[in-house]
Amino acid sequence: MLKKLKIGVDLDGTTFFFLFFLMKDAKKVLNSWVEQGHTVRVVTIRWKFLLFLAEKTLLFYRKYFGLARVEVVGVGPNGEKYQHLVGFDIFFDNDPKHLLEIDGRVEHLFIFGKKPVKDFENVASWHDMRLKVDGISLGKIQ
């Protein structure tokens, strides 16, 4: 049986826009997570204009490219991401500093696109992210 998960993602700045929106696998993976009943939230340090831009971009992709509804939360440069990840099962981030701040608060933490840091396993692509979520959801990854 598939366990419904709460999945957080942050890929920040340039990576956020270019990897998140322009890679075809991102849309497929995000849509599959939502279709499976998972909750998906982007938690980013972006705020003010950049957060507004991210939200408008998501709306554009939903309207014209069929992207599922994904919530975006901007915590600002001094914000703490973990406050917006309470009860979440998984978080993907490309910044090890942010993962260290969240460590112990979210059960499964992964570093996106970088060499493993501390005990954070690397995921190099959206396909890898999907495999991790599927494994955890099916109980194959503890």
pLDDT digits (tens, 9 = 90+) for 69-127: 888 888 877 778 889 999 999 999 988 888 998 999 999 999 987 777 778 899 988 88
**Do residues 47 and 53 lie in contact, with contact meaning Cβ atoms separated by under 8 Å?**
no
For residue 41, give the nearest of 79, 10, 71, 84 by alpha carbon: 71
pLDDT at 131: 95
Instruction: Please determine, for residue 133, whether its predicted confidence score (pLDDT) is greater than 90.
Output: yes
Residues 6+ apart with CB under 8 A from 91: 7, 8, 9, 10, 43, 81, 85, 99, 102, 106, 108, 109, 110
Domains of the chain: 6-137 (3.40.50.1000)
More confident residue, 44 or 106: 106
pTM of the model: 0.85
Q: Per-residue pLDDT for 63 more than 70?
A: yes
Q: What pLDDT shows up at residue 14?
A: 45
Cα(91)–Cα(2) distance, rounded to whole angstroms? 18
pLDDT at 142: 73
Confirm if 25 and 126 have CB atoms less than 8 A apart. Answer: yes
